[in-house]
Structure formats: C-alpha cells, structure tokens
A = this chain, B = another copy of it.
Amino acid sequence: MSPPLRIDPIAEARRHWTARWGGRPARPMAAVTSIMRAQQVLLARLNGLLRPYGLTFPRYEALMLLSFTRTGALPLGKIGERLQVHRTSVTNIVDKLEADGLVRRVPHANDRRATLAAITDEGRETAARATAALNDAAFGIDALCSDEQEAVTALLRALRVDAGDFVDGP
C-alpha cells in the first residue's frame, strides 16, 4: 500500500475541474469519483473478511440470496436478476460454490430447461459464519456512523431507481 497522499485527490481534481469547467460539473465528478473509490475500498475489505470462509463478495451475495428463499433454491436466471449480474457470472459463481459443497445444482421440477441452485447445509453454516464476521466489522464501513450509513442508502436509492433496478412505489 502507498503512504497516504498529503492532499485529497478528489478535492484536487475538483479544484482543476472548477477552474476549467466551473462548479456545476465539478459536483457530479466528485460524487461519482467518490463512489468509485468507496467501492474499491469496501470490496477489498469485504473480500479480506470473507477469505477465511473461502468466499468472495459475489459468492457470499449468492449464498445469502439462496438462504433467504423459502426452499433454499432458485433458478440460475433468477439469481442473475436479483444480483444484477450476467448469466456467465452466475454460472461462474455457482460453479465455484458447487465445487466447494456450498450449493448443488438440481433440475427444476416444472421446467426441464432450467436448473436450480440449492444451498446445502454446509452452505447455510458458512453463510451464517461469514455474516457474523461481516456484521462484526460493520461491512467495512464503520468510519461512518449509523445515521451516515442510512443517509448513503437513502441518497443512492434514487440512482438505483433511475437505473431501472426496481419499480419505485409506496
């Protein structure tokens, strides 16, 4: 890891932006660059926390999604929809989880072309232990207090609606 910079690189970029293009475009630039960097920091932390459980964050997310379903199983296509990742990524995620004994593939009862991923007992146990570790570490975001975390969630919700992730409603 590099030593800390003496200046905030995003504040520095904002200064250049404002000088050339004015304050208006500098604001979204700073916000978006901040989100990019935050994601990079958090993903490294989450993957570090999950490594002892043999998981990465995308595999952890898939495991949790399955654990929350009534039957513990979902068609692969549905997993992709819910995690908003491509079909090939879902295949890779499920391949690795299956190789580790955390899920198994089972045929769909009503649709011969579809395959389900079903969480195993070992998968549930691993998911529970990994979740305890992530909860203890506040998902790597304990530099923000609880109210600030809630503010981030609320602010970014509009972007997720705008991206068509879900239908905004009451």
Interface residues of A (CB under 8 A from B): 1-2, 4-10, 12-13, 16, 21, 24-25, 27-32, 34-43, 46, 57, 64, 68, 80-82, 84, 131, 134-135, 138-144, 146, 148-153, 155-167
Most-contacted residue by chain B among A16, A37, A82, A159 (CB, 10 A): A159
CB distance from A40 to the nearest CB of B (A): 7
Instruction: Name the one of B139, B155, B159, B162 contacting A29, with C-beta atoms under 8 angstroms.
Output: B139
The answer to whether residues A5 and B81 also contact, given A139-B32, A142-B28, A152-B155 and a CB cut-off of 8 A, is: yes
Contact in complex: A43, B36 (CB < 8 Å): yes
B159 engages A143 (CB within 8 Å): yes
CB A126 to nearest CB in B, in angstroms, measures 15
Contacts of A40 in B (CB 8 A): 84
